[in-house]
Structure 1
Amino acid sequence: MLGRTANGLFWMFRYLERAENTARLLDAGMRMALTRDLVTAEEEWRSVISTAGQRAAYEAKHGTYTGSQVWNFMLRDKANPSSILAMFGLVRQNARLARNAISGELWEAINENWLVIDEQLKKPVAENRVLDTVATIRRAGTLAHGALAGSMLRDEGYHFARAGTFIERADSISRILDIKYYLLLPSLSYVGSSLDTGQWDQVLRSVSGDRAYRWLNAGQIDAKGICEFLILDERFPRSLAFCYCALRDDLAALARLHGTEGQSNMLMRDADTHLTDLTIEDIFDQGLHEFLVEFTQDNAAIAEAISTDYRFLA
């Protein structure tokens, strides 16, 4: 497979995951803001923008954090290169570049949903349409992932697509946890007596983990339990541990197909072994922020090694 085709598949699914994650953040933020007064709601929207990593770009254009400004900036603003509209445009662009390496079903899922999303975001989104628009974006991601799983050969293209998915998902979860944890619990302790449980519920909702967490923990919301769930629980498909189990398998499959291992396989093994050996107590003893910064850096190094190993720019 040509490096540029592998690059297209890898980034197609990175951008898709990024668009989905932004939609989940908006969904959680919208539901929280609806239950708050005006002042508190603005703080919720500031938190959403910060978590999405779009604060500098947003504040360059807006001086306040009203809901309509925030969700339209994140959904469709042409001045925002990280908007969902821009991200999904890049998904479609990379799908076109890799058209000969993906199934007809996957192309249809991407192209048809791009047309729907583009049409919905031609005009500013009113409050009564936000949740429906977000649902459309999340459904588009679900259909694309379903088409990948149900119609693609388990060849290089399949594994590059999945590698892009899990690299991006791990990056997103680690950043959400880092930003949210320090917004909600500035203390280095994980004693949660004064936590706002509604805010921690927002963390779970933003990664679609609220129902699974409650089922496993009898509805109890606490910082330590949520961090353990999102970092170490291999049963949850958006935990860091699950992402790395899947990424390890996909990189191993690529190495078998190419007949040799690269730097990405070695980095992946080291990172996966380190994560597997940790307990939540080890993580908090190290410092959650320090752990997450190190994880994010290691994750970026693995992504860069994948690009180098498979000559994405060739």
Structure 2
Amino acid sequence: MLSRTADSLYWLGRYIERAGNNARGLQVALRMASLTRGVDQRDGAWRALLVASGCEPGFRATGAAPTQEAVVRHLAADPANPSSILACIEAARRNARAVRTALTVDMWEAVNETWGEARRTTEATFAPDNLPAFLDWVKSRTILFNGAYADTMLRDEAWRFVRLGTMIERADNTARVLDVHHHALAGAEGQGAVAYVQWQAILRSVSALRAYHWVYHARLEPQRIAELLLLRPELPRSVIACYARIEETLEDIAVAHGGRRGECHRLAGEMHARLRFGRIEDIMAGGLHAFLTVTIDRNIELGRQIQDFYLQA
């Protein structure tokens, strides 16, 4: 496979996943802001969302205050923000069009129809009364795309690079969501109402609130939340589940290329082993924030190594 084809497939997976992650984050921030109104006077939910999405530096450069209206605009529709939902849909469609023949009909239709509908959005779409419906639509479209490539693609190199991009983006998002609320998980903010809302927000951001109750059959506890999202492989959005798929996918690509491997393979294996043999007690004792910072940094480095080894022409 040509490196430029692999690159388009990889980024197609990343941009679709990013759009869905931003939609979940905005939904949770709306809920959290309404629940903590009168308690949190610093627009904390919106600041946290900007950090979790990796968009804080770009937003700060605009000079705007992190109000609901400004953050929603920046993360949902701002063309100057390459990670906004509409920008991600545009980039996903551009990459899909570049590799149209490598996609199944269902994949192409999922991307192209989403793009067509996104182009018909107006300022009214992002008004407070209409925003929830838009965010639900984005989530449903990303789920449709993920289902299309999971159910209709041959398990060949094209599928592997879409999957690789999806899992790299997903691992990054889960780690950032945990990190932005690490004070609440470490107990620094106590066991009060605001902390409990934050615990719910973490789980809702990765669609894992019901999964938590199914696994633990207990009330929310910070250490269990961290364990679920970091170390429980049965949760599809946990960091360990993502890295199991990343390592597996990179190994399959290496086998298809005659066994040729690079730094990306070593780094993915190291990260997966760090999670497989990690214990949540040790992670919490050593500092959750420190662990997550290393995880996020290494995930970024892994993305660079994949780019260098497979995706540059």
TM-score (norm 2): 0.92
Contact 2:187 2:222 in 1 (8 A): no
Contact 1:190 1:223 in 2 (8 A): no
Q: Within the alignment, does 1:52 sit opposite 2:49 as a pair?
A: no
1:203-222 alignment runs, 5 A limit? 203-222=202-221
Q: Secondary structure at the match of 1:40?
A: coil
Q: Secondary structure at the match of 1:146?
A: helix
**Alignment deviations for residues 182-232 of structure 1 (CA, whole Å, 9 cap, x no partner):** 3x35xx668954571011101111111111112222241121110000000
Q: Within the alignment, does 1:289 sit opposite 2:289 as a pair?
A: yes
Q: Secondary structure at the match of 1:34?
A: helix
CA shift for structure 1 position 124: 5.4
CA shift for structure 1 position 250: 1.0
Corresponding position of 1:79? 80
Contact 1:190 1:284 in 2 (8 A): no
Corresponding position of 2:175? 174
Moved more, 43-52 or 151-160: 43-52
**Alignment deviations for residues 232-286 of structure 1 (CA, whole Å, 9 cap, x no partner):** 0001000011101111111111112111131222222222122111100121232
Change (3 A) 1:190 1:252: farther
In structure 1, distance between residues paired with 2:231 and 2:9: 28
CA shift for structure 1 position 78: 2.5
In structure 2, distance between residues paired with 1:38 and 1:68: 18
Q: Between the two proteins, what is the percent identity of the paired residues?
A: 35
CA shift for structure 1 position 46: 2.3
In structure 2, distance between residues paired with 1:47 and 1:269: 30
In structure 2, distance between residues paired with 1:260 and 1:192: 51
Contact 1:22 1:84 in 2 (8 A): yes
Segments of structure 2 that go 5 or more residues without pairing to the other structure are: none
Corresponding position of 1:24? 24
TM-score (norm 1): 0.92
In structure 2, distance between residues paired with 1:201 and 1:151: 34
CA shift for structure 1 position 115: 1.1
Corresponding position of 2:133? 132
CA shift for structure 1 position 129: 0.9
Which AA in structure 2 matches 1:295? T
Contact 1:192 1:223 in 2 (8 A): no
1:134-173 alignment runs, 5 A limit? 134-173=135-174
1:159-308 alignment runs, 5 A limit? 159-182=160-183, 184=184, 193-194=191-192, 196-263=195-262, 264-308=264-308
Contact 1:117 1:137 in 2 (8 A): no
CA shift for structure 1 position 121: 4.5
Corresponding position of 2:95? 94
Moved more, 114-123 or 215-224: 114-123
Contact 1:178 1:292 in 2 (8 A): yes
Contact 1:192 1:222 in 2 (8 A): no
Contact 2:125 2:131 in 1 (8 A): no
Change (3 A) 1:281 1:191: farther
Moved more, 73-82 or 98-107: 73-82
Corresponding position of 2:312? 313
Contact 2:125 2:134 in 1 (8 A): no
